[in-house]
A = this chain, B = another copy of it.
């Protein structure tokens, strides 16, 4: 019997969040909770916390962090000035995948987006994550775009 909850991330969650990034061989970008990296994560966490348009969330099972995602609210002219929400860095703890945590997080995303007046959700997902793509399509997302990245 588990009780899943979702709340905004706090500074004390940062290590657990980065551990979820570490687990993800694909999206990890060399991420690891090391003494050298810690200041950079703390600075990024502070920047997210400070930004009214960004929110970082954690999904908890009891006190254990089992998932995370970030929302970015983006004012935009398109669609008669429709506010959009970008969903980013969606991670579920490896051992807990396919257990409904992702579905719960995305239901929360939709509710939060509507509550803040957004009319469009968007996200991009690495082309190799075919299981995630089916998941997003089941939730009503349309795979209408190509996602481009360029490292600077």
Contacts and interface: CB of A to CB of B under 8 A. Distances in A.
Interface of A: 17-18, 21, 27, 29-31, 37, 40-41, 43-45, 47-48, 51, 53-54, 56, 70, 72, 74-83, 86, 88-89, 110, 113-114, 118-127, 133, 136-137, 139-152
A139 B144 CA distance: 22
Pairs A-B, 9 closest by C-beta atoms: A145-B147, A44-B81, A47-B75, A141-B148, A124-B145, A40-B81, A29-B79, A147-B147, A121-B150
Most B C-beta atoms less than 10 A away, residue of A79, A123, A148, A151 = A148
Tallying the copies of this chain within the complex gives: 2
A37 B80 contact: yes
Contacts of A126: 144-146
A57 to B, nearest CB: 12
A31 to B, nearest CB: 6
A96 B113 CA distance: 37
A47 to B, nearest CB: 4
A78 B89 contact: yes
